[in-house]
Amino acid sequence: MAAPLTPDILVIGAGAAGLSVAAGAAQMGARVVMLEAHRMGGDCLNTGCVPSKALLAAARRGETYAEAMQQAARAIAAIAPHDSQARFEGLGVLVIRGIGRFTSPREVEVDGVVIRARRVVIATGSVPVVPPLPGLTEVPFLTTESLFDLRACPDHLLIAGAGPVGVEMAQAHVRLGARVTLIDAGRALAREDPDLVAPVLDRLRAEGVEIIEAARLVAVAGGAGAVRLDLDHGRQVSGSHLLLALGRRADLARLNLETAGIEATETGLRTDVRLRTTNRRVYAAGDVAGQGQFTHLAGYHAGIILRSALFALPARARGDHIPRVTYTDPELAQIGLTEAEARVRYGDRLEVFRTDYADNDRAVTEARTEGFAKLMVVRGRPVGVSILGDGAGDLIGLWALVMANRLKISAIANAVLPYPTLGELNKRLAGAYFSGRLFDSQAVKRMVRAVQRHLP
């Protein structure tokens, strides 16, 4: 039997988190082995962020379904070389295509090869949730892993789950010519501020999406081209295709975690603030860390792990500065606490400010005035920002900078932004915090009058 491989870092999974760890570690001189049983780039490149955003963009341009799917394929092909095995081998990473499993707290085996690494990073990502519904095993259905293989537009797409993925795909498909029914057991986009969600749902309804909320899916029947969903209270919905968009769960089944002394939770792996699992030699990154399922969060996790595993620095992960975006038209972006969450946490100490797109000159000139932004502030520091409107995902980036560095509102108020740009929405939002303090303050007015009396 061949001698074990002994790298500094073993990365299990070549999705966003694993690739970031492997690239960073290899370029800083560490010996790295990476395992991947399927496609390099993981969910984000192949079945998630990249194809879905390409589909949304094509739908917004009014392209046909076939053209939209071709654009999604072109986007994947254009980005794939950056995530390819060849590129990572060029960086010095040993890439092994296979499924790894722990055989002891320190060793992983893949196809007869034993790897004994100083540190292991589990970055196996997540897979779509497929519930044990009666009839589902007999009825063809789609998930995000198969949706982009379609080449003909569904006649009537039933989408179970009105989270970000379900809502995005509902708008994309109705614009591409499908009838769409969107169903959720609770409230659509339930995690988001209802003030921002309502205009998004109004837009979807205006475009032809039927939205059914508070409807629990109890059974599935039918066959190819004719699917029936049985909902609670005796309701039924029929369509040609079914897309399950009920969330994702951490992909951990084949790792043999118990042998390694690694504990799992309902959302992923149990970790400490340094992203170490209950086996201190093993880290979790990305979806399996159980802190959210975003590519940018995976990249952030990679940075924390590199500082800890390579340099023994006490890097600690936090979550209050991680933004999220729903890429509908209009876009919905959030960082930190929503207004409702902030009121529960801070009570009377919370201040809330709002500005409308209609008050932004660039939005007016381009007739993009639908939308608004909210700022939640406690003692001069933002604790949350919500933005609804064109470019919301780009606008939230400035607040990510502010909150990551724990800056005060004055950091944005002091900035000089180019005119006319949508970026001035952020400046106006920050200015709203100070305007009441300056323009409505009797003390300020008395000070101004006193100074003026003494000026020559």
Q: What is the CATH number of domain 9-40+84-128+249-311?
A: 3.50.50.60
Please write the tens of the pLDDT for every residue from 48-57: 999 999 999 9
In whole angstroms, give the CA distance from residue 317 to residue 272: 9
Looking at 3.40.50.620, 3.40.50.720, 3.30.300.160, 3.50.50.60, the CATH number of the domain 136-246 comes to 3.50.50.60
The CA-based angle 94-273-412, given to 5 degrees, is 100
Mean pLDDT (the chain) is 95
CB-facing half-sphere around the CA of 9: CA atoms within 13 A: 34
In 3-state terms, what secondary structure has residue 246? Answer: coil
Please write the tens of the pLDDT for every residue from 409-449: 999 999 999 999 999 999 999 999 888 776 667 777 788 78
Lowest mean pLDDT among 91-100, 138-147, 192-201, 441-450: 441-450
Please write the tens of the pLDDT for every residue from 92-106: 999 999 999 999 999
**Per-domain boundaries in the chain:** 9-40+84-128+249-311, 136-246, 324-439
Q: Is 164 annotated as a binding residue?
A: yes
- Residue 448 confidence (pLDDT): 78
Across 103-189, the runs of DSSP E, i.e. the strands, are 107-110, 113-116, 119-122, 126-128, 156-160, 179-183
Q: Is 100 annotated as a binding residue?
A: yes
- Residue 434 confidence (pLDDT): 87
In whole angstroms, give the CA distance from residue 106 to residue 309: 15
Q: Is 208 annotated as a binding residue?
A: no
- What average pLDDT does range 26-46 have in this prediction? 94
Bigger pLDDT: 42 vs 383: 383
In whole angstroms, give the CA distance from residue 397 to residue 333: 10
Please write the tens of the pLDDT for every residue from 244-255: 999 999 999 999
Please write the tens of the pLDDT for every residue from 385-397: 999 999 999 999 9
Please write the tens of the pLDDT for every residue from 153-165: 999 999 999 999 9
Q: Is 416 annotated as a binding residue?
A: no
- Residue 264 confidence (pLDDT): 96
Bridge partner list, 211? 182
Q: Quick check: 198 pLDDT over 90?
A: yes
pLDDT band at residue 209 under the 50/70/90 scheme: very high
Q: Quick check: 1 pLDDT over 70?
A: no
Q: In what order do the strands lie in the sheet with 381-389?
A: 324-326, 331-336, 381-389, 371-378, 350-356
Q: Is 167 annotated as a binding residue?
A: yes
In 3-state terms, what secondary structure has residue 202? Answer: helix
Q: What is the CATH number of domain 324-439?
A: 3.30.390.30
Q: Is 53 annotated as a binding residue?
A: yes
Q: Quick check: 311 pLDDT over 70?
A: yes
DSSP-derived letter for residue 420 is: S
Q: Is 130 annotated as a binding residue?
A: no
Please write the tens of the pLDDT for every residue from 102-132: 999 999 999 999 999 999 999 999 999 999 9
Neighbours of 233 (CB within 10 A): 8
pLDDT band at residue 406 under the 50/70/90 scheme: very high
Q: Is 168 annotated as a binding residue?
A: yes
Q: Quick check: 335 pLDDT over 70?
A: yes
Q: Is 287 annotated as a binding residue?
A: yes
Q: Is 238 annotated as a binding residue?
A: no
- Residue 438 confidence (pLDDT): 67
- What average pLDDT does range 316-323 have in this prediction? 95
Q: In percent, how much of the chain has pLDDT > 70?
A: 99
**290 phi-psi bin (left φ>0, alpha ψ -120 to 50, beta other):** left
On the question of a common fold for 9-40+84-128+249-311 and 324-439, the answer reads no
The CA-based angle 85-89-90, given to 5 degrees, is 115
Bridge partner list, 227? 222, 239
Q: Is 7 annotated as a binding residue?
A: no
Q: Is 247 annotated as a binding residue?
A: yes
In whole angstroms, give the CA distance from residue 392 to residue 327: 9
